[in-house]
Each structure stands twice: as structure tokens, then as C-alpha cells.
Structure 1
Amino acid sequence: VDEIDRIAVLGTGGPYDPVKIEMADHIARYETASIRFVHLTPEDAPPAFAESIRAYHEQLGENLTVPWDERVKPTDDLVETLTDLSRGANLVILGAPTHRFHLVAALADRIAESVDCPALLVHTPTLEQPGAITRAIQWLIN
């Protein structure tokens, strides 16, 4: 990518948001780009659901250092609609699990392959689960 003037952040409201938003803001600030939040809702979702997403985007936007806009759309075709709404972006950022939930990982890969620009898949840090002895000690202490 020679120049980035718009970054699409797909799917807001999940565990990857802090990493996605911080990364998008950093890249956009460096590239003098804007950010577009893209979020899909089920076709049968009540209008209040989309309004709550827009309110969340407003909160996110207050913390950004670059201009932003949003696209919130009801759909039954996730991949095609995300592809359509991310057109015009030079970079797409979306969250993807590191190893578990293979269905979600496969969906993230399908979305990344369908967009017409580079896609950055963001993973949250994997937290190691404590072993049985550590859990027993924690239980005794608490």
C-alpha cells in the first residue's frame, strides 16, 4: 500500500476493540488518515440496537486523534456486506482468535480474503490458565 487515507475497523464491541482501535488510531495518525467503524446487525434487530452501536462509536470517537465516520447496517450476508462497506479503505482491521473457535477464525480469514485491500487481523494476548495447584492455592487464600 503506497498511501493510507482510510482505515476500516470491522466489528466493534468485542474483546479485540482496545487493540484494534489503538492500532487504527496510531496508523491513521501516522498516515494522516481517517477511521471508519463498520458494524453489522441482524436483519431483524430492533432500531435501538443500531442506536446503541452508534452511541458506542461516539464514545470510541471521543478518544481518537483522527477524523472518523461509521457504517452500521442490518444484513444476513456478513462477508459480502462487510466487503461492500469497507470499499474505499486502504486498510481493514478486524479481530480474530489466536487458536480456539476455528469457526470464528475461518470467518475472519474469509473476510480478510474478500476485501480489496490489505487486512490486519488483530489478536488479543493469550492468557495462560493457572494449573490445578495454583487454582487450589488461590481458592485457599480467597
Structure 2
Amino acid sequence: MLRTLADYDKDLLTKKQLTAIILAEDVPGRSLDHAFARRVLLDIINDNIYTARPQMDLAQEKFTSLWQCSYLMQAIYLDLYQLLLNPGEYHRCANPECSNYFLISGRRSDKRYCCNRCASKMGKQGKTYRPHKEK
């Protein structure tokens, strides 16, 4: 039987708290709530991806890997699994008033901002501006 966050407690985590737990680095002295939440998250992910199957494919004369998922939520949990295994690929926006994270691709490893709007706002130092809403 698959477990969900609702099985543990509907009010256990908000979206912001879950994002912070997923993307946070290990910090000494972290509270037991965070340790418990990470354990719950691990159980949920494992319960939902155990039937996903890796497969090989031949695309453009090269071997590539695929994952066979039975349903959409399984694919979403598989993406989350891969995010947690490769946390260095995601960075927090350098705009101090923005809390968005973004994916770093190989061609733009020096990227500091989640979008052009944040980059241009940070370039206009000394001017007041409103931060944009979280995505």
C-alpha cells in the first residue's frame, strides 16, 4: 500500500517547508521535525517509485536511458528522486528578495538569477522595486 503525506498528517508540511527540506543542505543541529520530515519524504518517494523500470533506448545512434512509469505521479516522484540525488544542479536565485530555485544547465554554469527580471533588477542598484511572487 502506497503512503502519502496525508497518511502521516495533512498539516505536517507546507509547500514552502517541503521545498526548503528538499533543497536544504545538511545543517548540524537541525531539529527533529526536519529529520522526521526528511524520513517521511524518503519513505513516500521509495513507496511511489519502486515499480518504475529503467530501460535502454537507441536514439540518434547513441544509447540512452529511459524510465518506464505506470502513472503520472510515479514520474513526478521519479523526478523528485533524481533532484535529490543531484542537488548541485539547482541553485537559489542571487536576488535576496527572490526565493526561487532554478536548474543549472551545462552551457550556463555561471547563471546566478532565476530569470532576466531578477538579473535586471539586481543590475539597477539603488532603485526600489517590488519582488515578484514565488512560482
Q: Could you tell me the TM-score, scaled by structure 2's length?
A: 0.24
Which of the pair has more CA radius of gyration?
2
**Structure with greater contact order relative to length (CA < 8 Å, sep ≥ 6):** 1
Higher relative strand content: 1
Q: Could you tell me the TM-score, scaled by structure 1's length?
A: 0.23
